[in-house]
Structure 1
Amino acid sequence: MVRACVIHGAGDLRVEERARPEPGPGQALVAVRYGGVCGSDLHYWRHGGVGDFRLREPMVLGHEVVGTVVAYGDGAYGDGASGPVPGTEVAVHPATPCGVCPECLDGRRQVCRDTRYLGSAARMPHVQGGFAAEIVVPAGQLRALPAGLPLRRAALAEPLSVALHAVRRAGEVTGRHVLVTGAGPIGCLVVAAAKAAGAARVTATDLLPEALRYAGLAGADTLVRADDPDDAGWPDEVDAAIEASGVAAGLDTCLRRVRRGGVVVQLGMLPPGGSPFAGNLVVSREIELRGAFRFDTEFDEALTLLATAPHFDALISEVTPLADAPHAFTSAADRSRSCKVLLDFAD
């Protein structure tokens, strides 16, 4: 048996034992060491769903996981197969696109219409997640860690990939001014990704001082209280804006601050149903409004960046043993004192 962090319904999070998985053909068995608590995990815990995806059966949470290869099933290692040797420290890419739908064939696997994603209720039966002491995943989803990258920092690879994809959706940002609304873990990583992409200036906004402090650690040049219209840090206009808060007010800010002909990327998942936005500005200023969903090849880029950037460690605010998972979720939900919270599966 192995212990796992399982959501049964809104507010019903349990650490329970499940049968130890066995890798089948083409699969790998991974001993998980760290798992990052994501905003979507918090939504399942608080509300029983995220966006339009509702929980309909118990589900192991988690899709930001790293660990060590234990074993392989038939055909996944040796005889020309390319899985990392058992004992290798790896990060797990959480997506398994179908590879045959129009989106996959068009090179946009992140919006595959039939993908499987760890810890997601988007389909039934749900795709069980990675918050377990041992998990089985397709061998092709394993990525050996670059030299010098510790497992703990590598746990940021999945959310950093989301950030890198959002910055890519914003277009060329080299030498430009980028606004990031929302300085949660994803927003802070968007700040870091924008700076890594060559942005000359990044302004980050949030309601909470501690969140803004983490955005500063991530590399933001200017920090602005989102609820203070008189804050001197507000830019007159920016070249691109990335909305990472998931609230309509953040999108409104982006549309009003971006220059004419600029790009706004909606990254934060807005509440279910319709959300009002300043559509007339999109028309009169020819603003390009783009969505950003998950990622694809950015996962490998994220690992390379993390290996050379130890300052990312500062965004990990807490590491909690699996047995105390409810405490970890409570901490992760308290943005007044936390950024990225990790679960530790070592014991």
Structure 2
Amino acid sequence: MSTLSPRTTTAVVAHGAGDVRVEEVALRAPEPHEAVVTVAYGGICGSDLHYWKHGAVGESVLRAPMVLGHEVVGTVLRAASDGSGPAAGTRVAVHPARHEPTDVRFPEDRPNLSPGVRYLGSAARFPHTEGAFAREVVLPAAMLRTLPGHVDLRVAALAEPAAVAWHAVSRAGDVRGKRVLVVGSGPIGALAVAVAHRAGAAEIVAVDLHDTPRRIATEVGAARTLHAGDTEAVAAVDADVVIESSGNHRGLASALRGATRGGTVVMVGLLPQGDQPVQIAHAISRELHLTGSFRFNDEIDDVIAALGEGSLAVTPVVTHCFPAADALEAFAVAADASVSGKVLLAF
């Protein structure tokens, strides 16, 4: 078996609800515009946990086994033969979106809203888009982003989720000198704290049910934290900008109450499908600006530049790292928000 083009590779594969396996899968030959990347680390995302627990993420239901993972970093093993993209030996992060043509309207400057997007490790379409939780992966060279040489790959593994947080904070506009409330201090919430801190927020207050995420939020820039159950204290924050990253209706209700009159609430936490019991009259009477935030566009480039500068403090967000062979244990830890932040798999 050639070391440059192995026929199989070890991967983390979802077969259905409660059925994730570490197994050998075929590694296809790259097309001219594709590179082969040796994966160093992969961060476990909430979507990976949903495929593990439920065999679905919302309406994206597994119809066949699928390699999980979209938050990955590694090294180019074989560069694209057409000369595009980074050279062999280059350390890279991965932008997991691939854009395909669509007849559906969307703003041209916001390609993240295109229904033609394919995302690594997604069952939104069939055949599914295979993910990158594997020892080696074949990826379009256009997905690869060169990393500064001094940035640790464990830290760089946060580039993708940090780009989600960067996009969310940017949806609120300029946060310099403003009071920011972050509801839900899991990995995306903690990274939103870090991004808002870097952007010059005057005060950042982080909210969560658990001690561990509140501690992490403090370490990356929150001036103080609140227990999510203390609804009166959350409402008293009177924030100019609120980042709602809990992904449940109680968190959204707290976000609406914690915003000042005329304030902005950015909803990045993905709530379940269907109707949600939210006091929307509160938003109307206070003239709140409610805005959604979905994935990101090119913000991953801003994140990588900030990591290179050392101006984005994200290291405390990573709390655990497991060998890929122990993926099931890693998933269980990642699913327990009381003990973990971002959990990495090491390939």
Same fold (TM over 0.5): yes
The aligned residue for residue 56 of structure 1 is: 63
Contact 2:231 2:254 in 1 (8 A): no
Residue deviations 1:181-239, cap 9 Å, x none?
A: 001111100110111111111111011111111111121111000112465x7634110
Distance in 2 separating the partners of 1:137 and 1:204: 37
Give the equivalent residue in structure 2 for 1:218.
220
Measured after TM superposition, the shift of residue 105 of structure 1 is 5.8
Which one is further off, 102-111 or 154-163? 102-111
> For 2:129, what is the secondary structure of its paired residue?
coil
Asked if structure 1 preserves the Cα contact closer than 8 Å seen for 2:243 and 2:266, the reply is yes
- Displacement of 1:15: 0.2
1:72 Cα deviation from its structure 2 partner: 3.3
How far off is 1:101 after superposition? Answer: 5.5
Secondary structure at 1:240's aligned position in 2?
strand
TM-score between the two structures when normalised by the length of structure 1: 0.94
Alignment of 1:291-306 (within 5 A): 291-306=292-307
Q: 2-side partners of 1:165 and 1:102: how far apart?
A: 23
Q: In 2 relative to 1, CA 264–94 (structure 1 residues): closer, same or farther, beyond 3 Å?
A: same
Q: How does 1:1-347 map to 2 (within 5 A)?
A: 1-75=8-82, 77=83, 81=84, 83-98=85-100, 106-229=108-231, 231=233, 235-307=236-308, 308-309=310-311, 311-345=313-347
Root-mean-square deviation (CA, aligned residues, Å) is 1.6
- What is the CA deviation profile of residues 287-322 of structure 1, one whole-angstrom value per residue up to 9, with x for unaligned ones? 111110000110101111222147422221111101
- Give the 3-state SS of the residue equivalent to 1:14 in structure 2: strand
Partners of 2:154 and 2:249 lie apart in 1 by 34
Q: How many pairs does the alignment contain?
A: 339
Q: Is the 8 A contact 1:99 1:109 kept in 2?
A: no
**Distance in structure 1 (CA, Å) of the matches to 2:296 and 2:60:** 18
Structure 1: gaps of 5 or more residues: none
Per the TM alignment, residue 274 of structure 1 is displaced from its structure 2 partner at its CA by: 1.2
- C-alpha change, 1:133 and 1:181, in structure 2 (3 Å) is same
% identical equivalent positions: 49
Which residue type is aligned with residue 253 of structure 1? S
Partner amino acid, structure 2, of 1:60: V
Asked if the contact 1:21–1:134 (Cα under 8 Å) also holds between the matched residues in 2, the reply is no
- What are the superposed Cα offsets for residues 25-76 of structure 1, whole Å, 9 maximum, x if unpaired? 211111111000011111111111122322221110000000011113442x
Question: 2: CA distance between counterparts of 1:159 and 1:177?
Answer: 23
**1:54 partner letter:** V
Residue 110 (structure 1) shift: 1.0
Q: Distance in 1 between matches of 2:67 and 2:156?
A: 21
More divergent stretch after superposition (92-101 vs 159-168): 92-101
Q: Which moved more, 1:66-75 or 1:258-267?
A: 66-75
Give the Å deviation of 1:285.
1.4
* Superposition misfits of 4+ residues, deviation over 3 angstroms: 99-105, 233-236
CA deviation digits over 1:230-287, x for unaligned, max 9? 65x7634110111100000111111112112111111111012111211112221111
Structure 1 residues 310 and 285, CA, compared in 2 at 3 Å: closer, same or farther? closer
In structure 2, do the counterparts of structure 1 residues 323 and 160 end up closer, same or farther at CA, with 3 Å as the change threshold?
same
3-state SS, counterpart of residue 341 of structure 1: strand
TM-score, normalised relative to structure 2: 0.94
Task: Answer with 200-209 or 235-244: which moved more.
Answer: 235-244
In 2, distance between residues paired with 1:273 and 1:160? 28
Q: Which moved more, 1:168-177 or 1:99-108?
A: 99-108
Letter in 1 for 2:143: Q
Look up the SS of the partner of 1:191 in the other structure. Answer: helix
Quick check: 1:320–1:328 contact (8 Å CA) kept in 2?
yes
Q: What CA distance in whole angstroms lies between the structure 1 residues aligned with 2:214 and 2:289?
A: 27
2:107 touches 2:113 (CA, 8 Å); kept in 1? no
